[in-house]
Amino acid sequence: MKQYGAEFLGTFWLVLGGCGSAVLAAAFPDVGIGLHGVALAFGLTVLTMAYAIGHISGCHLNPAVSIGLWAGGRFPAAQLVPYIIAQVLGGIVAGGVLYVIASGAAGFDVANGFASNGYGEHSPGGYSLQAAAVTEIVMTMFFVIVILGATDKRAPAGFAPIPIGLALTLIHLISIPVTNTSVNPARSTGVAVYVGDWAVGQLWLFWVAPIVGALLGAAAYRLIGGNDD
């Protein structure tokens, strides 16, 4: 239960910190942090939580990562469902807290997106479903490769949170214009449920594509790096 609690709290922090930066600070008058700040915020949530709870749960914070670690031979199948449930619940609760905060400002309208992921007319840059799917698959694939490599027993010990956090920052710098960046079904679900409508209607992609990408990433790392167990 300690592991599941850690995943709940860690995913809560990821969604509140990452999506919160997008909703509350990205376009704040005069001192908005913009795309670069939001990308860094997501990376920092993973970096900080990796050091805080990595020794407790492994700090997955992401159903696709848990599935990728399982496929890579690093995580037991029996814990997959409880981890995913804890992650999704953490994301949804964080989305609720963010909603309460954001709705305290005059003119707030959840219909504006609430940091939800989307494609087509709901993509920040108007990118198609195909472009969004390829982006999410490839970005998640490389995220899992970085995670598996950085946590390999042959890698320098104690430094894994740094490349993993920086990888997530880079992923956001690349893909925010395309999908608003998911690579994490729990992150997508955590805000989509409050938007409803199109955000829930398009949510399927932000489960399917990251999971496909995670499986590809695990297969790729097994090919180039082998299983370190």
What domains can you pick out in the chain, each with its CATH number?
2-225 (1.20.1080.10)
The pLDDT score that the predictor gives to residue 227 is: 54
The pLDDT score that the predictor gives to residue 158 is: 86
The pLDDT score that the predictor gives to residue 229 is: 45
Q: Measured between alpha carbons, how far is 34 from 28 in angstroms, rounded to an integer?
A: 9
Dihedral (C-alpha) 169, 58, 199, 110: value to the nearest 10 degrees? -80
Among residues 160, 169, 177, 14, the alpha carbon closest in space to that of 89 is found at 14
Classify residue 139 by its DSSP letter. H
The pLDDT score that the predictor gives to residue 26 is: 85
Contact predicate 220/141, CB 8 Å? yes
- Cα 143 off chain centre by: 10
Other CB atoms within 10 Å distance of the CB of residue 193: 19
The pLDDT score that the predictor gives to residue 11 is: 97
The pLDDT score that the predictor gives to residue 162 is: 95
Question: Mind listing the pLDDT tens digit of every residue in the chain (229 residues)?
Answer: 899 999 999 999 999 999 999 999 988 877 888 899 999 999 999 999 999 999 999 999 999 999 999 999 999 999 999 999 999 999 999 999 999 999 999 888 888 889 999 999 999 999 999 999 999 999 999 999 999 999 999 988 889 999 999 999 999 999 999 999 999 999 999 999 999 999 999 999 999 999 999 999 999 999 998 754 4
